[in-house]
Structure 1
Amino acid sequence: MKFASVLTALILSVAANSVAAQDTAPSPADRPANPQAVIHTSLGDITVELFADRAPVSVENFIEYARSGFYDGTIFHRVISHFMIQGGGLTEDLQLKPTREPIVNEADNGLTNTRGTLAMARTSHPHSATAQFFINVQDNHNLNHRGTSNSAAWGYAVFGQVTEGMNVVDDIRFVDTTAVPPHSDVPTVPIVITGVEILPANPG
Structure 2
Amino acid sequence: MKKYLLVLLIFITCGGSDSPVETTDTTTLETTTTLGENMEKTYSAQHQMTIDDSKNYTAVIKTSLGEMKVEFFTKDAPITVNNFVTLAKDGYYDGVIFHRVISDFMIQGGDPSGTGHGDYGKYPGYEFEDELNNQIPYSKGILAMANRGPNTNGSQFFIMHVDYPLPYSYTIFGKVIDGLDVIDTIASVETGAGDKPVEDVVIESVEISEN
TM-score when normalising by structure 2: 0.69
The residue that corresponds to 2:199 in the other structure is 189
Superposition deviation, residue 193 in structure 1: 0.5
Asked if structure 2 preserves the Cα contact closer than 8 Å seen for 1:34 and 1:53, the reply is no
Asked if structure 1 preserves the Cα contact closer than 8 Å seen for 2:123 and 2:154, the reply is no
Superposition deviation, residue 88 in structure 1: 1.1
The residue that corresponds to 1:133 in the other structure is 157
Q: Deviations over 1:19-38 (max 9, x none)?
A: xxxxxxxxxxxx93420001
Aligned residue type for 1:171: T
The residue that corresponds to 1:200 in the other structure is 210
Distance 1:109 1:57, change over 3 A: farther
Asked if structure 1 preserves the Cα contact closer than 8 Å seen for 2:76 and 2:133, the reply is no
Asked if structure 2 preserves the Cα contact closer than 8 Å seen for 1:73 and 1:92, the reply is no
Distance 1:110 1:74, change over 3 A: same
| Cα RMSD, aligned residues only | 1.8
Q: How does 1:1-204 map to 2 (within 5 A)?
A: 32-91=54-113, 98-108=123-133, 110-123=135-148, 125-144=149-168, 155-179=169-193, 184-201=194-211
Asked if structure 2 preserves the Cα contact closer than 8 Å seen for 1:74 and 1:89, the reply is yes
SS of residue paired to 1:74: coil
SS of residue paired to 2:80: helix
Q: Hey, what's the Cα distance between the residues in 2 that align with 1:174 and 1:82?
A: 9
Q: Hey, what's the Cα distance between the residues in 2 that align with 1:110 and 1:47?
A: 22
TM-score when normalising by structure 1: 0.71
Where in structure 1 are there 5+ consecutive unaligned residues? 1-30, 145-154
Q: Deviations over 1:148-195 (max 9, x none)?
A: xxxxxxx1111001011111111000100001xxxx000000000011
SS of residue paired to 2:81: helix
SS of residue paired to 1:172: helix
SS of residue paired to 1:104: coil
Where in structure 2 are there 5+ consecutive unaligned residues? 1-52
Superposition deviation, residue 92 in structure 1: 5.6
Superposition deviation, residue 143 in structure 1: 2.9
Asked if structure 1 preserves the Cα contact closer than 8 Å seen for 2:101 and 2:107, the reply is yes
Q: Hey, what's the Cα distance between the residues in 1 that align with 2:56 and 2:135?
A: 17
Computing the radius of gyration from Cα coordinates, the structure with the larger value is 1
